[in-house]
Structure 1
Amino acid sequence: MRVLVTGAAGGVATLLRPRLRGDGRILRLLDIAPPDTGGDEVMTGSVTDPEVMAVACHDVDAVIHLGGHSRENSWADTVEVNITGTQTVLEAARRAGVRRVILASSNHAVGFREVTEELPADSTPRPDTFYGVSKAAMEALGSLYHSRFGMDVICIRIGSCFERPPGVRGLSTWLSPDDAGRLFKACLTFASPGYRIVWGVSDNTRRVYSLAEAEALGYRSEDDAEKFADEITDAPPAGTEARYVGGPFTTIPLGGPN
């Protein structure tokens, strides 16, 4: 199986790549800057370039789309890279006959959902930023390409994927690198998933996100952010940031720092 990974030099992809290798998988890595790699196929280019994406999707069995801005940015840049880029990826995959695309969505697509127990993975969008809007649009594009063309599309609403949870909020949102590997492998191998939205989080003690949808694809988390709780000393979120899933993204300036 050959898997195209966009945004391959980014933080999530860097953690994910060694955990996806093996089991007969060949990784084709695409980014605007060449990633450090060992034995993978490497391409340099942008997800917004249809010609680059046409070459990247040739002879590929599945696409993991991680490319794009990962933080709040201007509206124009967000639309160009995150929304138009996603459509370019999906269209190139369709034209190349790729049957499965995994899209890296985000908790910020539903950032203005209130923090409750077991928030369903397919909760309708309530974005907290332009970035969150782009992830909601990504999910909508995935739904369109599934319904129109029969592609299997899985959108993973990632919480926070780092080696260690980033602060108190991360004790709820953390997706460990090993669990990320387990989740993406499940999304690659589950038979005929159709269109799905799942949460990308570990089974954290403080988790407020439903894992039922991801577990239905065969994902089983083995990690819990709580083991880092004693090491985290920042103040818990308060006010609006504590009330909503998006945390600090619900209060930052739209369009990024002015």
Structure 2
Amino acid sequence: MAHDRILITGGAGKVATLLRPRLARPGRVLRLLDVREPAPVEGAGDEEVLISSIDDLDAVVGATTGVDAVVHMGGQSRESDAEEVLRLNAYGTYCVLEAARRAGVRRVILASSNHAAGFHTRDEMPLPAGVSGRPDTLYGWSKVAAEAAGRLYADRFGMDVICLRIGLWFPTPPGPRGLAMWLSPDDGARLVEAALSVESPGYRLVWGISRNTRRWWSLAEGEAIGYHPKDDAEVYAEQLVAEHGEPDFAADPVLTRVGGQWCDVPLGRHY
């Protein structure tokens, strides 16, 4: 399925910055929407920049007009108060989905989060991507709301909506938790390309992780849409163990819960 013009919300963010050069293709244009100007990225292809917030429905409708698909990365990326996370993550996702519907865009990729399922534990391994929402924070709650909005637009309007429950999308695994939950930049791009390319997926939930030796989340749902990760956080294990000690994925609550230490963060705390 060809997608020659793709809207990326949150186009100036850290994840989008990793993604932009990896999505670059001859003949493909990435339209970047954010409240600030994206920094130049080496290897980026043809790009358009629009400055606006995702909670401005009219602006998002304008940004969505003429694109073939939307990759929704924008929003509040950390714990905050209820008004903030619901405005940007729940209402903002509504604006993106509604703009896509009005513009006739059939494919929307939503960046959800592991924190939408934060209180699920390793006892359920391999943990399916479609487990019910068990948010660990107000942020996680807002991501459950975003996933539900995606379900609504898939069911009611026949849109293809794939929600990526992202683990830890960083250049390298950030600490022992990353040995199980890391999503490498290259695998992140593979995941997004798979979500863009799969024929008629309807509504899907997929874990955003690499092929990590110590993973305990299922890769089956990603494989079903053509996502075949290649990277493994284990190549960083010696370095991480030397720095933090041998991780205990059977007993340490930070490592046995999907949401890790976020399960212990007071609701509404800014950090």
TM-score by length of 1: 0.97
Q: Identify the residue that residue 240 of structure 1 maps to in structure 2.
A: 253
| Equivalent AA in structure 2 for residue 158 of structure 1 | I
Kindly provide the CA deviation profile for residues 200-253 of structure 1, in whole angstroms up to 9, marking residues without a partner as x. Answer: 000100101100001111111110000001111125476532331110100011
RMSD value, Cα:
1.4
Kindly provide the CA deviation profile for residues 98-140 of structure 1, in whole angstroms up to 9, marking residues without a partner as x. Answer: 0000000011110000124210000011110001101111110
Identity %: 55
Q: Number of aligned residue pairs: give it.
A: 258
Q: Identify the residue that residue 118 of structure 2 maps to in structure 1.
A: 111
| Rounded Cα–Cα distance in structure 2 between residues aligned with 1:118 and 1:187 | 22
Unpaired runs of 5+ residues, structure 1, are: none
Aligned residue runs from structure 1 range 75-90, under 5 A: 75-90=82-97
CA drift at 1:11: 1.0
1:228 aligns with one of 188, 213, 236:
236
Q: Give the secondary structure class of the aligned counterpart of 1:166.
A: coil
CA drift at 1:34: 1.0
| Rounded Cα–Cα distance in structure 2 between residues aligned with 1:251 and 1:88 | 31
2:66 aligns with one of 36, 41, 59:
59
Q: Is the 8 A contact 1:111 1:250 kept in 2?
A: yes
| Equivalent AA in structure 1 for residue 171 of structure 2 | E
| Rounded Cα–Cα distance in structure 2 between residues aligned with 1:239 and 1:75 | 29
Q: Is the 8 A contact 1:240 1:251 kept in 2?
A: no
**Is 237-246 or 80-89 further displaced after alignment?**
237-246
| Equivalent AA in structure 2 for residue 243 of structure 1 | T
1:16 aligns with 2:19: yes
Q: Is the 8 A contact 2:78 2:270 kept in 1?
A: no
Q: Is the 8 A contact 1:162 1:175 kept in 2?
A: yes
CA drift at 1:191: 0.7
- Runs of 4+, deviation exceeding 3 Å: 235-240
| Rounded Cα–Cα distance in structure 1 between residues aligned with 2:198 and 2:148 | 21
Q: Give the secondary structure class of the aligned counterpart of 1:148.
A: helix
Q: Identify the residue that residue 81 of structure 2 maps to in structure 1.
A: 74
